[in-house]
Chains A and B, each alone.
Chain A
Amino acid sequence: MSAERIQGGSKGVQLDSAASEETRDSQGRTPESIREESVSAPEDKPEEREDAAGEAGGAEEGKRRRLRWRKKELPGGLWLKCEACAATIYRKELEGKGMVCPSCGFHFTLPGAERIRMVLDEGTWEEFYADLASLDRLEFTDKISYAEKLQRTVERTGQNEALLCGTGEIENRPVVLAVLDFKFLGGSMGEVVGEKIALACELARKRHRPLVIFTSSGGARMHEGMLSLMQMAKTCAALRSLNEAGGFSICVLTNPTTGGVTASFATVCDLTLAEPGALIGFAGPRVIATTLKQELPAGFQRAEFLLEKGHLDAIVERADLRDTLARLIDYGRAAWSAE
C-alpha cells in the first residue's frame, strides 16, 4: 500500500456528528448566505462543532428504497427547521429519513462521511490520498490567516481537505468514489481538491472502474487565488484523459453546487444527476439578484429548473441513489474490460 493511502474509517473519514451542522447553520446562515460569485468563504464557527461520535449499526435493510443512514445522538436542538419549507422537524425523524425533509422532501446537505456510508456497501470503502493537506501559498489573510483557518477546519472536521476520494463498491460493483464535503470550507476547490479529483480520474482509469462523484461546493477557494481557478482546468484535463481511455463517469450534484465546481468537472461527466431541490448554478442567487436588482423566480437554479432547461440527465431521490447508480454502472460496463 502506498504511503498516501489510508484505510477507511481512519484519519481521513471520521464518523463525525456534524451531520446536521448545515441545518444548524440554517438558523442564521444557510449555505446560500455564504456564497457569492464563483467562490466561497464560509466562516469558521468552531464553537458549534462537535467531536467525532460515530456508532455502529442503524442501517435499514431489506427494502428496495434503502437508506443507509446511521442514526445517532446529537447534542443540541431536538428540533430543526427545513430551509426549503420552514417546517419544524424532529431531528430523529429527519435522520431516520436520511436527512430528507418529511414534509417537503428537501434533501439536506450531507457530510462527506455520511454520504460515503449511504452510497457504498458496508466495509468496502478504502480511502486514498487522505493525507494531502492544503498550503497557504499566497499567505492570504483576511480576518485570520488562511493557514490558521485551514488548521482550525482540519481540527474541527477531522479531515485534511474538502474532498474524500477512494474505492468501494455499490451493490457489489467496484467504483472510484469522490465526495465533496460542504462542511470543509464550503466544499470549496483549492489545489488539493482539484488534485484529488484529478487523481480520482487517474485511479478510475488505471483500475478500470467507473468514477462516481458527489458535489456540494460554493466553488473555487478564493484564499488560493489563481491556483484555485486553475483547478477547473486541471480537473477537466484529467477527466478528458479518462474519457479518452474509455472511462465512465457519473456526477451527482447535491445542494448546493455552484461556481467553479459547476463550471468544470461536475457538469461534464458522462452522466449528470442531481438530488431533488439542489441549488445548482454558476453565479450564486444573491449575486444575480444584486446584479439584476430584481427578485429571482421561484425555483430558480433548483435541480427541477435545471432538468426542465435540459442540463441534467435525471433527478434521483436519495433513497433511490444506490439502486440507480448500480443500474447505471451496469450500462457503462461495456466501455470497460473487467478489472
Chain B
Amino acid sequence: MSEAPPDKPEPGAGERPAKGASPPRGAETGPEFERPIRDLEGQLAELQELAGGTQLDISSEVAALRARLEAAIETTYSELSPWDRVIVARHPERPVAGDYVNAILDDFIELHGDRSYGDDRAILTGLARIDDERFMLIGHRKGRTTKERLACNFGCAHPEGYRKALHKMRLAEKLGLPIVTLINTPGAYPGIGAEERGQALAIAENILAMFGLRVPILVIVIGEGGSGGALGIGIGDRVLMMEYAYYSVISPEGCAAILWKDGERTPDAAASLRLTSADLERLELVDGVIPEPRGGAHRDREGAMQTVRATILSELAGLRRLETDELLRLRREKFRHAGAIDGRFPTCP
C-alpha cells in the first residue's frame, strides 16, 4: 500500500479533489449568476478606458453605469439561492486562511507538525497577534495558486492535520492563549492513508478534547463548512459564520447523488439541507453571522477581512470576561442542547 507524504496529495487527488469538491465553478469567468454584474463591470471599465484617452467629460455616464452596477449587485445578491451561496463560498477569489494571515495579523509565527506522523498542509496553525491580542490561529488551508491548492489537498485535512491542530490547541491552553479557528474545508480527506491513520478517531478526539480546553475558543466559518472535517476544529464558545459561508452535514453534490441519484438535483439538495448562515442562525446552531461586503467577500476582500479582524478582537474581549469554569460549562451546555427545541427532550431521571 503506497504511503503518500503528508504534504502531497494522494494519487488521483488532483483529478478530483474530494467528495463534493467540484472544481470551483467559473474559475475564469465567475459564477453564472454574476453574469449581469460582470457585463456591467466590463462596460464600466471600457468606458473609463475610453475616457482616459480623450478630454470628453463622461462622468455622468460613468456615474449612471456605476449606479446600474450597484443595483445589479444588489438585485443579484438579494436573490441568491442556497446553491448560489455555496458557489460564492467556493469562489476562487474569496479570502482564504493565508489571506487573513497576511491582511489582518500584526504578527504570525507558523507552527508545524503533529509530533507523531507529519505536517498536514491542509491545516494551518500558528501563534498570531492582532494589536495586543495574542492567540493561537488554527485554520483549514486551501491555498491560492494551483500548486498551493494541490499541496494542501484543497483544504481536505488528513488525521495528522487534526492532530496537529490539537497539539497546537493544547499548547495554547498551556500558554493561556485563546484559540481562533477559521473553517474552510469541503470535508475531511477520504483516502486510504486517512483511514489507515484514523480519520474518524482524529476528528472525534478533537471534538472531545475541545470541550475541555481551558481557554476561550472562537470559531469562524469563513467559506466551506464541510461536515465532520469542519467540526474537527469547530467546537467553540462562539461559533460564527460569514454571511456567504455554508455549513453542512454533507456536500450538496453528495446529497443529490445519494438521495436523488442525480447530480442535476444539486441545487435542490443545497436548498433542502438548510446550510446557509441565515438558516443556521434561525436553527440556533451558530451564534452569529458576520456580514460581508455587498456582493460577497470576493468583491471587497480587504473590507471583508477587516470585518473579521474587528470581530475577532471584540469576541475575544467578550470571552475573556468569563470565568474559565463558567466558560467551559456554557460551551458544553451549548453543544449538549445544540439546536434542540426547548422542552422537547427529557432530563435524565
Contact = CB atoms under 8 A, between A and B. Distances in A.
Interface of A: 2-5, 36-39, 41, 129, 132, 135, 137-138, 140-143, 191, 195, 198-199, 202-203, 205-206, 220, 222, 224-234, 236-241, 258-260, 262-268, 281-283, 287-288, 290-294, 296-297, 300-301, 305, 309-311
User: Nearest 7 A-B pairs (CB), nearest first?
Assistant: A283-B190, A262-B200, A202-B348, A282-B200, A230-B338, A142-B259, A282-B199
B150 interface: no
A141 B260 CA distance: 10
A300 B195 CA distance: 9
B23 to A, nearest CB: 14
Contacts of A283: 19, 188, 190-191, 194-195, 199
Given A227-B283, A233-B335, A283-B19, A311 B198 contact: yes
Max chain B Cβ within 10 angstroms of own Cβ: one of A220, A265, A283: A283
Given A233-B207, A233-B235, A293-B16, A311 B201 contact: yes
A283 B194 CA distance: 9
Nearest to A239: B208
B274 A225 contact: yes
Contacts of B332: 237, 240-241
B256 to A, nearest CB: 9
A263 B199 contact: yes
Contacts of B250: 37-39, 220, 222
Query: Which of the listed residues A140, A234, A282, A305 has the most CB atoms from chain B within 10 Å of its own CB?
Result: A282
Contacts of B15: 293
Given A259-B228, A260-B249, A281-B200, 10 more contacts: A37-B227, A38-B187, A39-B255, A233-B234, A241-B332, A260-B227, A262-B200, A263-B203, A282-B190, A291-B191
B12 A268 contact: no
Nearest to A194: B338
Interface string B250-291: 110011011110000000000011110000100101000000
B25 interface: no
Contacts of B203: 232, 263-264, 282
A262 B188 CA distance: 13
B218 interface: no
A264 B249 contact: no
Nearest to B256: A142
Contacts of A281: 195, 199-200
Nearest to A202: B348
Interface of B: 1, 10-13, 15-16, 18-20, 187-188, 190-192, 194-201, 203-205, 207-208, 211-212, 227-228, 231-232, 234-235, 247-251, 254-255, 257-260, 272-275, 280, 283, 285, 332, 335-341, 345-349
B228 A198 contact: no
Contacts of A240: 208, 211-212, 332
Contacts of A259: 200, 228
Chain B binding surface SS class: loop
B19 to A, nearest CB: 5
B268 to A, nearest CB: 8
A216 to B, nearest CB: 15
A263 B228 contact: yes
A236 B211 contact: yes
A230 B274 contact: no
Contacts of B345: 132, 195, 199
A166 B252 CA distance: 36
A266 B191 CA distance: 20
B249 A220 contact: yes
23 contacts: A37-B250, A38-B227, A39-B258, A41-B259, A137-B283, A140-B272, A142-B272, A191-B339, A202-B348, A220-B228, A222-B258, A225-B249, A228-B249, A233-B235, A233-B335, A233-B338, A234-B338, A263-B199, A263-B204, A263-B207, A283-B194, A287-B19, A294-B12
Q: Which of B12, B207, B274, B340 has the most chain A CB atoms closer than 10 A to its own CB? A: B207
A267 B200 contact: yes
A282 B229 CA distance: 10
Given A236-B204, A288-B192, A222 B259 contact: yes
Contacts of B338: 227, 230-231, 233-234
Contact of B349 (A5, A205, A239, A294): A5
Q: Which of A233, A288, A292 has the most CB of B within 10 A?
A: A233
B228 A291 contact: no
